[in-house]
Amino acid sequence: MKKFVIFGNPVAHSKSPQMQNAGFENLKYDAIYKKHHLDDGNIIKKTFLKNNYEGANITVPHKEHAFKNADEVRGLAKKIQAVNTYINENGKVIAYNTDAPGFLKAIESFGKVKTVLLLGAGGTAKAIALALQESNIDVTVLNRSEGKLEFFKNEGITSYSWDNFESKEFDLIVNSTSAGLKDDYLPCDKELLESVFKTAKFAFDCVYGKITPFLALAKENELEIKDGEDMLLYQGFLAFELFTKAKADNKVLEGMRKGLRGE
Ligand code: NDP
């Protein structure tokens, strides 16, 4: 039986095992997916190989370590400089980032999106910003502090901190900050949000499983809203296809959604 894991710290809360195992069951694929708590991200590759894992997902705070440790990084992950998926290819560790394409799949349901305001500048924002840029969607980053903006500026992405923001019209507003995850904060000033909501059509929050204050305010302003469940599902589904080397269908996807929801 092939062994897969998710590395994280903490990892106890992760829903990836229930989602991935549901996928394996659907495909009758002989594999098991477990949680692996990892304190030291520097030994992630060694730990992966020593345990004979066939593949892994990587979550907070190890995505950058995983990027640096990999034998080979493929696709947009090279620019993002963070990976969430490892594959064992004949003893070599191949790394991918499926958060970026997972996000793009998740916003497909909105239809045509031309301009995006992305709130936050952390690891998730990097993946989202580069995914949008690669799809020729105009993206502007707005973050609480200046410190993390350098990465975006180096990629030619217009970026502001709260102090110097210059607004324009956006189709979609994305919250990729952790505001609203465990608290009731908005990701930025309420007036600023209300002003961009006036002309926007859609709002997306990376936080999943709840209506955050950000989504609640967007709904009040009559925007179409979506939480982060589909993003989590699609990043998992794309990793699953890499794990199994199979092109999985909609039945597998919906099985994984049920697994994710614990249904
Ligand atoms: P990081 O810690 O890398 O970045 C956090 C960002 O949020 C920073 O830009 C930080 O700003 C900002 N921030 C934190 N608190 C506040 C606040 N109160 N007000 C305004 N800005 C704030 O986190 P990640 O990028 O890894 O994750 C971000 C969110 O995305 C989390 O909620 C996470 O759960 C979610 N997520 C969802 C996924 C999915 O599949 N649905 C996948 C991955 C993440 P500053 O620079 O000023 O500190």
Which of 178, 234, 237 should be mutated for ligand 1, with most atoms under 8 A from CB?
Answer: 178
> How many Å is the Cα radius of gyration of the chain?
18
Compute how many other C-beta atoms are within 10 angstroms of the C-beta atom of residue 67.
Answer: 20
93 lines ligand 1 (CB under 6 A): no
pLDDT at position 120 is 97
pLDDT at position 201 is 98
Considering only CA atoms, which residue is closest to atom 31 of ligand 1? 178
pLDDT at position 55 is 98
What's the CA-to-centroid distance between 70 and ligand 1, angstroms?
Answer: 24
Considering only CA atoms, which residue is closest to atom 19 of ligand 1? 187
pTM score, two decimals? 0.95
pLDDT at position 50 is 98
Q: Give the tens place of pLDDT for each residue, 104-117.
A: 999 999 999 999 99
How do 2-8 and 72-73 pair as beta strands? unpaired
pLDDT at position 60 is 92
Q: Calculate what percentage of the chain has a pLDDT beyond 70.
A: 100
Considering only CA atoms, which residue is closest to atom 44 of ligand 1? 124
pLDDT at position 136 is 98
What's the CA-to-centroid distance between 100 and ligand 1, angstroms?
Answer: 15
Rounded distance between C-alpha atoms, residue 39 and residue 58, angstroms: 12
Rounded distance between C-alpha atoms, residue 52 and residue 75, angstroms: 24
Q: Give the tens place of pLDDT for each residue, 34-43.
A: 999 999 999 9
What's the CA-to-centroid distance between 122 and ligand 1, angstroms?
Answer: 6
Q: Are 6 and 35 in contact (CB under 8 A)?
A: yes
- Calculate the CA 225 to chain-centre distance: 17
Mean local confidence (pLDDT), 63-77: 97
Query: Domains of the chain, with CATH numbers?
Result: 2-97+230-261 (3.40.50.10860), 101-227 (3.40.50.720)
